[in-house]
Structure 1
Amino acid sequence: MQATQTLATFVSQTRHTDLPASLIAECKIATLDAFAAAFVGSSLPWAQRVVEMVHELGGAPEVSVVNQPWKTDVSRAALANGAMIGAFECEPLTGSHASGTVLPAALAISQRDHRDGKAFLLAIAVGFELSGRLQRTAVGLESTRGFHNPGIQGPFGAAAAVGKLYGFDAATLASALGLAGSCAAGLLEFAWAGDDTKRVHLGRASSMGLESALLARKGLHGPVTVIEGRYGYFNAFSEPTDIAKLTEGLGKKWIIQPASHKAFATHVTHQAVVQAIQDLKREHAVDPKAITHVAIRGAHRILEDRHTVRDPLTVMGGQYSLPFTAAVALTRDMSNPLVYNDAAVKDPLVRSLAKNMELIVDHTVHDLVPAEVEIVCGGKTYKKVTSPHKGSPHNPLTWADACEKFSRYTRTLIGEPQAKAIMDAVADLENQSDMARIATLLAKT
């Protein structure tokens, strides 16, 4: 099976008129949601360290970096913007975090080379789709092999998007994917101690994918069997899988629909539980200090070992832990992402609740929902069965929802006029004549 060349042909031949109106709308929502995540990331120390490094390295002042007053070259901008988008567990999930791998690369090239909004939307759509198909087809890449999906498949999606912006033919795109394959990298070992490596995987993937496309444009050749070959992507990173699934329905069915977004700044497997806790707190007078017992029953998928560390030392570690995040949700209003901070990690009440929380694997459930949350507080027992969180494929984020979320996330970071200008521009993305205008709106004024 010539999977690499089939994907390259799909990318090269797809036109803007091939995109369903619903997909264009979802890509605009994903763009605004990614920008919200980037602004949040710009305020966080681990992302700021990446941004500082990029600034110190210099680079030709070609394109903007989110919430910064200076410019850098396209590759370093993709690294910095991707790191900020992926900095706080609140970026869109569509295409397996492609908003932090594909979008920064496409935005950088679109700004520098003055591509229009339709070209940008088409580039991210095909890049998201390619990334999503790689993620869907792999078996055990994360849970068994210990690789981090965005870091592994992100370079492919970024290379595809940049190649699309340059109008690569199928052969050049296949070569770009071949080069991107040797940039696939990212280990899950950060999960146990909450290390910062996860925070840079998206930006690195974006930068490396962009550079792979630029190298292919200059005539460098990559293996055109990089995905299906003996030493290719699936044999290197996945358990045995049916590779035919990768291209099934390609060009007819967009597997990135319906879209997937987060409601809270934590891992996707925690979203529904946090929503249930927020609802219970709103419906009942739950005093966290009076809680004597908390139990969560759900699928093994939400209770894997890597998601049940009870005593994390960092915010990253907490955001990857279901019991710890549930404890933070019990003590704080997580509609504000920035309440998940060092103070929350060090809070004795949070740590006690996480340590004593009962976790029960329900082997009859195999998805993120339903799960059940039980809280005993003040002699009363409260229970709630989870349902799909806002932004999930079964409870989609609307444009109005995305604007409310963007305003809420950026309220303390940028002024209202700048926020409104960004929302208005993204709402009219397909009619933008030059993406440099939108990229400039993201910079610090």
Structure 2
Amino acid sequence: MATRTTAAKAKAETSQNADAVEETETTTTAAKKPARKPAAKAAPKTKATRSTKATKAADDTDDEELDGEPVIDEADTPDVVADTADVETADEPVVEETKDAEESDDEESTGKDEELPTGALRLTSTDDEDEVPVYSAAITGATADPVKDYLKQIGKVALLNAAEEVELAMRIEAGLFAEEKLSQMAEAEKRSQLGRELAWVAKDGQRAKSHLLGANLRLVVSLAKRYTGRGMQFLDLIQEGNLGLIRAVEKFDYTKGFKFSTYATWWIRQAITRAMADQARTIRIPVHMVEVINKLARVQRQMLQDLGREPTPEELSRELDMTPEKVIEVQKYGREPISLHTPLGEDGDSEFGDLIEDTEAVVPADAVGFTMLQKQLESLLDSLSEREAGVIRMRFGLGDGMPKTLDQIGDTFGVTRERIRQIESKTMAKLRHPSRSQSLRDYLE
């Protein structure tokens, strides 16, 4: 009995050592591979079967003789383990193992996710960046035409369909919500896991906004073409239209079911027309008056086609439901000012201001005649007495250009106004004498 018990213990220890070596080898093999294999599932069964057989053999040796029983040598154990490892790894490609592992991981992660409501936007972190159009200041192959360069640059961005517009709008909405939450959080909360996720969502919303803007820049160009030749450069119209496009992106409501281009058209037109009212004219006109001027111009063009002639203010007043005086006033507001430095002629050597008379300018001939008249009057006054000459100068303002009354002159000379009147009358009679007045008649013709 002691011999049988010793043999049974030896067999059991040999089986346990084989299993331990086998488990070590299997663990090493599994650690080297990044993913699990379906064939690896059969390994535990093999080990369990061998352990069971070893246990049964140990139980049987208690009743049977040791003679004739095979003894497993420990030196043979590595070969058995190696064979087991070969069976486990037989004919299993590494690519298929990785795919199966990823599928099993996806199934496990999908099973753990909670069910979302219908139409909800699932945000997942990924290494793939959104295809946001990138605009650089340096344009490859730039030409002397900035409009051509701009159209070439925006033409590289693909147009969006309705589904892509809705997806971008949902990301923008999520980004705005995340920015609102971040503004209400403290600095410590922003560094938490929730804060980092909100920051990522806000950044994703900005990328979606840039993508939606870049894909609709050609819409602004098509609308800006309709307003050329009205006082603003084409690129300035595009710039103002882009501001309206930004406003449309911020206020677009995808739940209404309309296309983004239909909604953005109104914002782009409003931005362009407001800019034209504020910047296109040298003298600014209020926006409501600009609308009246445009309406008058449309009615005037229509009546010109119908009547074959220019309509009168009375005919326009009946169409516009306003008085003829109001029509004339609006027409004056609609006139464009012209610069005095506008060149004239083919050579452009003269300007428009050269043809306009300066009513305040002094004619050289008149200036010479006025100077000679002053000298002649001084010579005539010198022929009078000092009091008579002083009364005439003060009465007609010959010295300082400010005529004085009889009372003011009387106060100066210390006499009554009646005496000043008598002196004036007597002096004027002397000046009217042909000997003195003949020299002044030539200046009155």
Q: TM above 0.5, one fold?
A: no
TM-score (norm 2): 0.18
More strand by share: 1
More helix by share: 2
Which structure has the larger Rg over C-alpha atoms?
2
